[in-house]
Amino acid sequence: MNRNYLFTGLTIALLALSSCNEPQKQQARGPMPFPIESAKKDNITVYNEYAANIEGEQNIEIRPKVDGFIDKIYIAEGEEVKKGQILFKLSAETLNQQVNAAKANIEVAKAQVVSAQVEVDKISPLVKQNIISKSQLATAKSNLNAANAQLNAAKADYMNAQENLDYTIIKSPVNGIIGSIPYKIGSLVGRSETQALTTVSNISNVYAYFTMNEKQLLQFNRQLDGKSVKEKIKSLPEVELILADGSIYEQKGRIETINGMVNPRTGSIVYKAIFPNSANLLRSGISGKVKIPSLENNVILLPQKATYELQGKKFVYLVNKDNKVESKEVKVSLAVGQNFIVQGGINEGQSYVTDGLIKLRHGMQIQPVSEKHHTPDANAAMSNK
């Protein structure tokens, strides 16, 4: 029994000695190593995104110029058509009759001209012989002029009738894609209809319309070179288009126009960018985002992992000359990749901890390790502590 008590006592004593030596071991290790980096200014390209509506270069409503029933529809919705291709044919019975009547009127007018000319030719020699008075010749010539005028009027009526007949064949004015076709064969259509026969969208190029608010407009314009609007637009960089599925459209575009007025209701101004669309991937009515690059000069970039958030504010651990860390609030503007653009709170040349912030406390002394010389072993040491 005494032997058991003795063994238990020795065990407790050894544990006590071990626990007393542990703080001394930890103290002997010294400050923990942490990677640090010095803040420096740089020039970077920032990309801003703006919601955009896509429209074809031309969206032309196809409307009939004459009244009639639809006889034939030569195209289908979504079909690609060429300029001059026949789209619709309207009934033309009445218009055919008008053309035939106009032709007949021309023949009548020609006969009247011939008759009047014969009369003039007959009277002219008699006037020279003083057999008939000059007034009769003047009357005959007047009748000839009237007949010619009647002939010209008949020809104009014929051309008008023929033109109306031609309008029954409706052709595409441009290359493009057919939109919806609300009418069917046999439908009565005319110039007074509010709904178009269809729409042809020329999408060889597309326009992306997007807006900027007044603040964005001022920031954007300050970066542009040139005095006139034309010079400023010319100096703009190429822009990209982000599609609805998040992919980047393969062809870049350019800003073509900037609206001259700010909308007083929304406080925004409209921009128009043009993108080539030779593969017809883009269609009128779709949405996307225009991605515009801008250059930020002399800004400090702070890695996002070097910051932590507290009550909606962002903080960083600065390292002073005694290698002690100080918690400091920083103001950031934009996130660029894995970094923040700093607006205030840290100055060029100041050192800050880049990783392992969860282990730090304000006033804690550390062993700074330059980010450039920070090895995997140092990381391992940090993670094991």
Provide the 3-class DSSP secondary structure of residue 243: coil
Amino acid at 61: E
> Does residue 338 sit in the same domain as residue 377?
yes
Phi and psi for 137 in degrees, rounded to 5? -65, -40
Alpha-carbon distance of 136 to 162, in angstroms, equals 39
> Does residue 322 sit in the same domain as residue 373?
yes
Provide the 3-class DSSP secondary structure of residue 331: strand
The domain of 159 spans: 92-167
Please compute the mean of the pLDDT values over residues 296-319 and round it to a whole number.
Answer: 91
Alpha-carbon distance of 95 to 101, in angstroms, equals 10
CATH number of the domain at 216, please. 2.40.30.170
Alpha-carbon distance of 116 to 150, in angstroms, equals 12
> Does residue 156 sit in the same domain as residue 224?
no
Domain membership of residue 237 (yes or no) is yes
User: What pLDDT, on the 0 to 100 scale, is given for residue 264?
Assistant: 82
What is the number of structural domains in the chain? 3
Lowest-confidence region among 99-103, 201-205, 355-359, 381-385:
381-385
Alpha-carbon distance of 316 to 116, in angstroms, equals 106
Lowest-confidence region among 144-148, 270-274, 287-291, 335-339:
335-339
CATH number of the domain at 362, please. 2.40.420.20
Domain membership of residue 146 (yes or no) is yes
Q: What length does the chain have?
A: 385
> Does residue 325 sit in the same domain as residue 277?
no
Domain membership of residue 179 (yes or no) is no
> Does residue 288 sit in the same domain as residue 232?
yes
Give the dihedral sign, CA 189/190/194/199: positive
Domain membership of residue 10 (yes or no) is no
Domain membership of residue 190 (yes or no) is no
Domain membership of residue 143 (yes or no) is yes
User: What pLDDT, on the 0 to 100 scale, is given for residue 6?
Assistant: 45
For the entire predicted model, the pTM comes to: 0.61
CATH number of the domain at 141, please. 1.10.287
Instruction: For Cα atoms 334, 337, 341, give the angle at the middle one, nearest 5 degrees.
Output: 30
If pLDDT is split at 50, 70 and 90, which confidence band does 371 have? low
> Does residue 304 sit in the same domain as residue 268?
no
pLDDT tens per residue across span 223-232: 677 777 777 7
Domain membership of residue 361 (yes or no) is yes
Q: Last residue of some domain: 121, 148, 167? A: 167
